Chain A
C-alpha cells in the first residue's frame, strides 16, 4: 500500500465534486488517480497487494442512504449504486420477478463480503488473474501496459476463452454483471461534466481488446444507479454456477438465462455467461440459435456449442468451452422446466 489522501463524501454530488478528471497511468481509474471507495473488498485488497496505487480516495460510504434504493416497478428494477449485494439478493420483489438477479448475487462471494460490497463495486470488480495480482510477475498488460502477458503460457485454469487475445486472457470474475448485460441493463452515471446513461453492453471493455482500460467510465465518473428493464423473460430466469466447491468460489463457468417461453417455443431468450470471457458476456450466438424455435435438449446443446464456437483455449482452461456449454444447457433445461 502507498500513501494516499482520503476524504469522505456524503452525497453523489459531493463525491463527484471531489474528483479530478486526471486519468491514472494504467487503469485510468487506478494508479495516481482519484478513486471512489465503496465496500473496499476489491479496492483495498489490490492496494495492499501494491497493484492499485491511487493518489486519492473518496469514500462514498456516507452516501449510502441516498444511493441504495431497490425499486421494482412494472417497467423495471432500479438499484442504487451503493445498495449492498446482500440487500438485493434478499429482496422479495427481486427474488420473485428477477430470480436470475437474486441467484447470481446469492451465489457470489461469502455472506460477509455480500454484506460489505456494493452493487456498483460488484460490477467494477477486477480480474482474479494471479499474474495481475502479484507484482513480482514482470509481464501484465493490465498492470503495466505494454509489458506482455505472463498468463498466456502460465497457470491459466481460471482464465477466459472468449473476448481474450494474445495481449490478455484475464477473465471477468463476477457473477451479477453477466446477468446485467444479458438483461440489457444500464448504469446511471454522474460526472464532472454532468449525468449520462451507459448501456451495460457498453460499460466494460474486453480484456483482449483493452487490457489496461477496463470500462468506458471517464475519470471522475460515479455510478449512481443500476437499471434493468423488465420483460416477459425476466420471471422465467435462473443462474447456474459451476465451481470447485459448493460455496465461496468464483465461477469456473456460469450461465444466466432468462426466457420467454410460449407454448413450448422460445419467443425470446437472454443469455449471459460467466467465468469464461474477458468481460461480462452476453452470448448473441446462443440466443440466435434458440430464438423462435421449439425448445428441446438438442436445441439447447446446439446453443451451447454456438456460444463457444469462437473460444480460444490455453493449456489449463481447455475444458472451459465444453464445461461452459454444458453449464448453459443445464441452465436452459432448468429455466425451461420452471413454473412461472
Chain B
C-alpha cells in the first residue's frame, strides 16, 4: 500500500544507507539529550475555537436541508401495536414520518465494535415493532424545520404493549453469565495465580468488601448530530466522530453499499470521552431519509436523546478480597466484577485484565460476570476498565493499609511490583514509587494525622486520601501522508481525530521536529475518511500512534532527500514537492494483517498487557484533601495533586490539560456524576445537565499536576505513553479514602453524597 515512488540508483543506495546510519546515531544521541517533557505549545486552532470560527459537524447547514427529529420509545420493553401519525402529519412543513414498517428491511444488521462490526449496539435501527430499551429510536420525522419536526414528533401517538423490564442489579428477570462463557469472538480467561482462597484463609489480616459504581453518561458539550447528503450515489456524512473510518464502513454495511461510496467529515469534535466512536442508530436512518427525499437531512439530538441513543458507562458491582501479613506484604487478591449490560450485547470492560498487574500479590483469583438487563448497550467512557475496577481495588488497598497499621502511601510502596505475578511479565517502565514520593511531598502528605476524624478546620472536617492511577499504553495502526514542499512548508494528512485534546498541534510539532522546520509551517489535516486511515480516538492511543507514524514517514523523507539530521529537509528541494505515504503498525502486530484490518475500519490495538515481551503501562499517584461540613456534611475538594509518569510528554501544555481535566473528571465521578434510573420502568430520570451534575468552577479551587520525566524507548520508538485517560483513574478512590479519613465513614458506593455521611437516616 505504500505509494513510495522513489527509484533507487546504485550509488544513491549507498548514500541512503549512510544517511540512515547517521540518522540512527543521531537518534540515540538525541534520545539522551532531548528533554522528556516537551515544549509547552498552545493549540494552533485555539483562536479559531474561542472565536467560534472552528466549524464543527453540527455547524454544517447545507442549502436546502430538511431537518429530522427522532421519535423515542417511551418504555423500556414492549411492542408497538400502532403508531398514529395523523395529528403529526398536519403540522405544517412535515415532509415524511418513518416508522418501523416503512424502514423494515432497509437497514442491514451490524455487529458491535470489538465483535467484528462497527456499531455501538447490535440492535438494527427501526427494524421491527419490538422495544429493547427506553429511548430506542422507533420513528423519525423529517420536516422543513427543526421546530416542525419536533412538534410533529410530539404529536405522534404510540400504542404499546408494555412488558415489565429489569433495570438494575438485584431486579428480577436479569440474566447473569460469566464473561468467559459469553465472549463470542475474543476468548476471555479470568486471570488467576496460585491458590488465592487458601492464601486468604491463612493470612493474618484480611479485607473483604463490596463496592459499586453507577451508570454515567459522557455528556460532551457538543450534542450528537448527523447531517447526510447524497450526490451521484455518494453519501457524505457530517457527524462529530472520533472514528471516521468506523462510521464510513459501518454505515456502508448497514446500507449495503461499498464503503468507497461513503465519506465522513468531522474536522473537530466538541468533546466525546468515548461516546462518538462506534456507529449509533441515528446515522443510517438519516442517510436513508436523505436519499428518499433527495435532499440533505440534518438531525441534532437533544440532550435527553443523547442519554439513550448513544452509549454510557455501565453500572458495576465488585467483591474484593485482600489479605496481607503483619509486615504489610500482600498475600492474595480476589476480585469479582459484575457489569450491567443490555440484552442485545455483552459489552464488557473486564478491568481485571489490568488490575492484576498493580501489586506484588503472590496469589490472585478474579472473575467477571455479565448481567443483562433491559437497557441500552453501554460503551467505552474515559478509562473504561480502570474507573470502576481501580475504584474498588484502591479503596480496598486503603482498608488493608489501615488494618495493617501502615501509612497508605508506604503500603503501596511496600507492595510495588516491578514484575507482575500474573504471567510473570516485567514492565517496560513503572515509576510508581517516584509518583508516590513526588506527589506526597508536593501535597504535604506528612501533615496527615492517620487517625480518622482527627483533622479539622473550623466548621469543616478535613481528610487526606491517596490512590493510584494506571493506564495501559496502547497503539493502533495508522497510515499517513507527509508532503514536503520547496517553499519550506509541509503537510500531514491522517484520518486521526482531535476531540479537543491537541492532536492537530502534536502532529505539527512532531513533523516539524523530524523535518527540521517550524511546526507552524506544517499544515495538518485530520478527521476526514478521505485521508489515509489513522487511529480512532480511544484507549489514549492517538499521540503514541500518530507521532510514531509521522516521525517514521518524515525520517523516510529525510533519507530519500539525503539530508543530514538536524538540518531542514526542505533544503534539498528547489522546486516541487516530495511525498511519503506510510503504513505504520505497532511493532507487536503482524503488519500485513494489521494494515488490512486498518483499511477496513477495524483497527487493532496493541500494547498494555498484550505485549509478549513486557507490560506497557503509565502510572500516577493522586492525593486529595476533602472537607466535610461538620454539621450539614457537604463534601468539597479544595485541592488535589496528581503525580504522573507517562513516558515522553510531547506537549507539556496539552498533556497538563489532559491530566488536569482527568483529575477534575475524577472529582465529578466521586461526588457528582450518576445517571439515575427509575427501576420500575428502566428509564433514566435525570437525563439533562441541570440534574446530572458535573463539577463547576466553584468545585475546583486548586489542581496540581506533576509530570515526572520517564524515559521508555521500549514502550515504542518515541517513548510516548497516553495521558488522556490516566488522570481520572483512582481519583474517586482517593476521594473516598479521604472522606473516610475525614469522617470515619467508609463509603463504598459511588457517588458519595451528603446523605451517606449523615449520622442516622430515619425513615417514615
Of A154, A318, A330, the residue contacting B685 (CB under 8 A) is A154
Task: List CB contacts (< 8 Å) of B647-691 with chain A.
Answer: 671-672, 676-678, 680, 683, 685-687, 690-691
Q: Decide if B758 touches A155 in the complex (CB within 8 Å).
A: no
Give the contact stretch, choosing among A21-29, A94-102, A257-265, A319-327: A319-327
- State A17–B326 Cα separation when bound (angstroms): 84
Chain B residue numbers with a CB within 8 Å of A243 are 634
Chain A residue numbers with a CB within 8 Å of B72 are 136
Give the contact stretch, choosing among B361-369, B548-556, B696-704: B696-704
Q: Decide if B151 touches A1 in the complex (CB within 8 Å).
A: yes
Main SS of the interface on chain A?
A: loop
Contact of A298 with B by CB under 8 A: no
Contact of B1 with A by CB under 8 A: no
Task: List CB contacts (< 8 Å) of B718-764 with chain A.
Answer: 753-755, 758-764
- State A243–B635 Cα separation when bound (angstroms): 9
- State A325–B74 Cα separation when bound (angstroms): 38
Chain A residue numbers with a CB within 8 Å of B206 are none
Give the contact stretch, choosing among A215-223, A225-233, A245-253: A245-253
Chain B residue numbers with a CB within 8 Å of A249 are 693
Contact of B695 with A by CB under 8 A: yes
Q: How big is the B interface, by class? A: 35 or more
**Knowing A247-B698, A329-B631 touch, does A154 contact B154 (C-beta < 8 A)?**
no
Of B636, B677, B680, B758, the residue contacting A322 (CB under 8 A) is B758
Contact of B150 with A by CB under 8 A: yes
Q: Decide if A245 touches B696 in the complex (CB within 8 Å).
A: yes
Q: Decide if A244 touches B672 in the complex (CB within 8 Å).
A: yes
The number of chain A residues with a CB under 8 A from chain B is 41
Contact of A74 with B by CB under 8 A: no
Of B74, B636, B764, the residue contacting A136 (CB under 8 A) is B74
Q: Decide if A244 touches B755 in the complex (CB within 8 Å).
A: no
Task: List CB contacts (< 8 Å) of B311-338 with chain A.
Answer: none
Q: Decide if B696 touches A248 in the complex (CB within 8 Å).
A: yes
Q: Tell me the number of A-to-B contacts counted with CB atoms below 8 Å.
A: 100
Q: Decide if B632 touches A246 in the complex (CB within 8 Å).
A: no
Q: Decide if B763 touches A130 in the complex (CB within 8 Å).
A: no
Chain B residue numbers with a CB within 8 Å of A321 are 762, 764
**Knowing A130-B691, A154-B678, A244-B671 touch, does A2 contact B760 (C-beta < 8 A)?**
no
Chain A residue numbers with a CB within 8 Å of B91 are 3
Q: Decide if A245 touches B763 in the complex (CB within 8 Å).
A: no
- State A243–B753 Cα separation when bound (angstroms): 10
Contact of A166 with B by CB under 8 A: no
Min Cβ gap B756→A in Å is 9
- State A330–B764 Cα separation when bound (angstroms): 24
Interface centre among B147, B687, B764 (most CB of A within 10 A): B764
- A-B contact sample (20 more), CB < 8 A, given A128-B690, A321-B762: A2-B151, A3-B151, A128-B691, A134-B687, A136-B75, A154-B678, A154-B685, A155-B685, A155-B686, A240-B632, A244-B671, A244-B672, A244-B693, A245-B696, A246-B696, A247-B697, A249-B693, A311-B764, A319-B754, A326-B631
CB<8 Å pairs between A and B, sample of 6: A128-B690, A134-B687, A245-B671, A246-B636, A322-B762, A323-B754
Q: Lowest 10 CB-CB distances: which A-B pairs, in order?
A: A136-B74, A319-B755, A246-B698, A247-B698, A155-B685, A50-B154, A130-B685, A313-B764, A318-B763, A246-B699
Q: Which residues of A contact B (CB under 8 A)?
A: 1-3, 48, 50, 128, 130, 134-137, 150, 153-155, 157-158, 240, 242-250, 252-253, 311-313, 318-319, 321-323, 326-327, 329-330
